[in-house]
Amino acid sequence: MREIEDLIPNSIKFTSSSDDLQEQCYSFIGSLFQKGRSPLTIKEYSRTISHFIVFLNNYLDHSVRLQDIKNLDKITINSYLSYYREPTKDHLSADLKKRFHHQRFFFLSKIPVNTLGQDIIFFKKKETQELLSNLEKTFNGKVRTGQELEDGLKGQKNLINKIERLRRNNCIKFYDKNKEKSARSVARCTSVLRTFIDFLIKKNNWEGHNIKKIESSRFKQRTDNKVFEENEIIDFLQYLDPDINKITLSTKESAWEQRRDLSILYFLYSSGLRVSEVLQFKKKNFPFKEFIKIKGKGDKERFIVVLDIVNEKIGKYLDSYSHSNHELDLLDEDPLFIKLTKGVKKKISARDIQRSMKKNIQRFDGSYPIFSTPHSLRHSFASHILRGGADIRTIQELLGHSNLASTQIYTQLNEKALLDVYDKSHPHSKDKI
Given the residues 313, 378, 379, 384, select the one marked as catalytic: 378
* pLDDT value of residue 345: 92
Q: Phi then psi for 381, rounded to 5 degrees?
A: -55, -50
SS3 label, residue 187: helix
Mean pLDDT throughout 58-62?
Answer: 78
Please tell me the least confidently modeled range out of 69-73, 173-177, 365-369. 365-369
* pLDDT value of residue 221: 47
Mean pLDDT throughout 278-294?
Answer: 93
Active-site residue flag, 379: no
List the alpha helices (DSSP H) in 241-295: 255-271, 275-278
217, 181 contact by CB (below 8 A): no
Q: Give bridge partners of residue 233 from the DSSP assignment.
A: none
Given the residues 274, 313, 379, 384, select the one marked as catalytic: 274
For residue 100, what are the CA distances in angstroms to 88, 89, 148, 305, 423? 16, 15, 10, 50, 36
SS3 label, residue 340: strand
Closest CA to 411 of 428, 397, 393: 393
* pLDDT value of residue 21: 93
pTM of the model: 0.52
pLDDT tens, residue by residue, 295-317: 888 788 889 889 999 999 999 99
Could you say which DSSP state residue 246 is in?
-
Active-site residue flag, 177: no
Active-site residue flag, 246: no
163, 169 contact by CB (below 8 A): no
Fold of 230-407: hpI Integrase; Chain A (1.10.443)
Q: Give Rg (Cα) of the chain.
A: 25
Angle between helices 374-387 and 350-363 (to 10 degrees): 80
Give every CB contact of residue 394 below 8 A, 6+ residues apart in sequence: none
Closest CA to 363 of 202, 250, 205, 253: 250
Active-site residue flag, 401: yes
* pLDDT value of residue 383: 79
The ranges assigned to domains in the chain are 2-87+182-213, 96-174, 230-407
Given the residues 37, 144, 260, 401, select the one marked as catalytic: 401
- Residue 337's pLDDT band (boundaries 50, 70, 90)? very high
Given the residues 80, 84, 317, 410, select the one marked as catalytic: 410
Rounded Cα–Cα distance for residues 384 and 377 (Å)? 10
Active-site residue flag, 378: yes
The span from the first CA to the last CA of the chain, in angstroms, equals 69
Given the residues 297, 302, 345, 387, select the one marked as catalytic: 297
Rounded Cα–Cα distance for residues 57 and 63 (Å)? 6
For residue 138, what are the CA distances in angstroms to 144, 147, 294, 423? 8, 12, 48, 39
- Above pLDDT 90, what percent of the chain? 23
- Residue 285's pLDDT band (boundaries 50, 70, 90)? very high
> Strand locations in 175-247, DSSP E?
none
Cis amide bond preceding 287, omega within 30: yes
**Most confident region among 80-84, 119-123, 198-202 by mean pLDDT:** 198-202
Give me the amino acid identity at 390. Answer: A
For residue 272, what are the CA distances in angstroms to 114, 261, 296? 27, 16, 11
* pLDDT value of residue 363: 77
Residue 422 has pLDDT above 60, yes or no: no
Closest CA to 368 of 215, 176, 239: 239
Please, which contacts does 18-23 make with residues 24 or more away whose CB atoms are closer than 8 Å? 18/63, 18/64, 18/65, 18/66, 20/65, 20/66, 21/53, 21/64, 21/65, 21/66, 21/68, 21/69
- Residue 393's pLDDT band (boundaries 50, 70, 90)? confident
* pLDDT value of residue 432: 45
* pLDDT value of residue 412: 54
Return the number of other C-beta atoms located less than 10 Å from residue 266's C-beta. 22
